[in-house]
Amino acid sequence: MTSTLPLIAITLGDVAGIGPEVVVKALALPEVWAACRPLVIGDARALTEARLGVPVPPLRIAKTVAEATFDFGTLTLLDLGNLDVTAAPLGQISTEAGRAAVEYVLKATELAMAGAVDAVATAPLNKEAMHLAGFDYIGHTEILADVTHTPRCTTMLATPGLRVTHVTRHIPFRSIADHLTIAGVLDTIVLTHEGMKVLGFPQPRLAVAGLNPHNGDNGLMGREELDIIAPAVAAAQAQGIDARGPIPADSVFFQAIRGDYDVVVCQYHDQGHIAVKTHGFEKSITITLGLPIIRTSADHGTAFDIAGRGIAHADSMLAAILEAAAMAARVKAASMN
């Protein structure tokens, strides 16, 4: 395999779930190997056919990135040797699996920050297991922001035909309006604009969704559109960003899918997630914008209910790996110009 292909660190996620299975299934596909050199970060004891419910290719164990070699039909693993599988039973929340999953992410991030790998693609972790292990994060984005010392980042959800980002993410629904500020909306618009360029859109077209029904009906059902969102959009336009809005949320996603916009900036988590997962759940992925590294992820949970049965779909994990590789290739090409 050519050494010029991007080197992608792929974490196993929570090994009590379907993460290892979807990673193995994705790496069995030739399009992955045509796009990148895949380096799995995890523990060899989690990668057995008896545990995953699917055949596992021969493992090539590496203790360092320099030792890694890449050939289709094998799986190159940076083995952290940090897992007691007997304490991480399939389909169950466990401290052991939660700790190991975070350590995989930390190692992959360390390698990316050092330039040893070109991008990171993550399999799902479980928030409760992570918390049991003493890691008080909501998810991958918060881990990555913390360890890379990134003050501003946002999550993009993407599926063929629709991309969304979010001003607020993991907060209770009743708190959303209180967390919206002109600065926060503007920052998300700017991050989205910058991130879309890395995704290959030199002049991205952004739609900014409203918060309230009917865009607040000119203040009759809330003033967030008038007092917060519209001023933020105007400020973004003054910076030369092609942003439009606020646009009523009940029509903006249809407009984006139709091709009017390249991405929708949403005001809260489910506003964007429901649209993307309804439009194309199996191929949806997440991309963290604003980090000093490239990071993508499968956009589904650990699916403890089907772990070990060999029936999990790998479409999302495949899409995450391919997008990480494409982003890394664009960044490398841009650096050479």
* Residue ranges of domains in the chain, CATH in brackets: 1-150+291-337 (3.40.718.10), 154-282 (3.40.718.10)
Phi, psi values for residue 223, rounded to 5°: -110, 5
Q: Determine the pLDDT at residue 142.
A: 86
Encoded tokens for 327 = 């982003």
Encoded tokens for 174 = 């009743």
First to last CA, the chain: 25
Task: For the sheet with 59-62, list strands across it.
Answer: 59-62, 75-79, 37-42, 7-11, 119-122, 295-298, 285-289, 154-159, 162-166, 263-266, 206-209, 243-247
| Closest of 85, 21, 105 to residue 304, by C-alpha | 21
| Closest of 231, 212, 230 to residue 221, by C-alpha | 212
Instruction: State the virtual CA torsion across 215, 221, 224, 230 in degrees, nearest 10.
Output: 40
Q: Which residues of the chain are modeled with pLDDT < 50?
A: none
3-state secondary structure of 296: strand
Encoded tokens for 228 = 């917060």
Tens digit of each residue's pLDDT (9 = 90 or more) over 111-150: 999 999 999 999 999 999 999 999 988 778 888 888 899 9
Q: Determine the pLDDT at residue 152.
A: 86
**Distance separating alpha carbons of residues 241 and 243, to the nearest angstrom:** 6
Sign of the C-alpha dihedral computed for residues 124, 106, 290 and 35 taken in this order: negative
Nearest-5° Cα angle at 228, 227 to 229: 115
pTM: 0.91
**Distance separating alpha carbons of residues 245 and 267, to the nearest angstrom:** 12
Q: Determine the pLDDT at residue 1.
A: 57
Q: Determine the pLDDT at residue 335.
A: 72
307 Cβ partners below 8 Å, 6+ apart?
Answer: 16, 17, 18, 21, 90, 91
Nearest-5° Cα angle at 60, 327 to 118: 15
DSSP for 96-159? HHHHHHHHHHHHHHHHHHTTSSSEEEE----HHHHHHTT---SSHHHHHHHHTT-S--EEEEEE
DSSP annotation of 165 reads E
Phi, psi values for residue 88, rounded to 5°: -130, 65
Reported residue count of the chain is 337
**Distance separating alpha carbons of residues 312 and 75, to the nearest angstrom:** 19
**Distance separating alpha carbons of residues 308 and 20, to the nearest angstrom:** 10
Q: Determine the pLDDT at residue 2.
A: 59
| Closest of 278, 86, 277 to residue 286, by C-alpha | 277
Q: Determine the pLDDT at residue 174.
A: 94
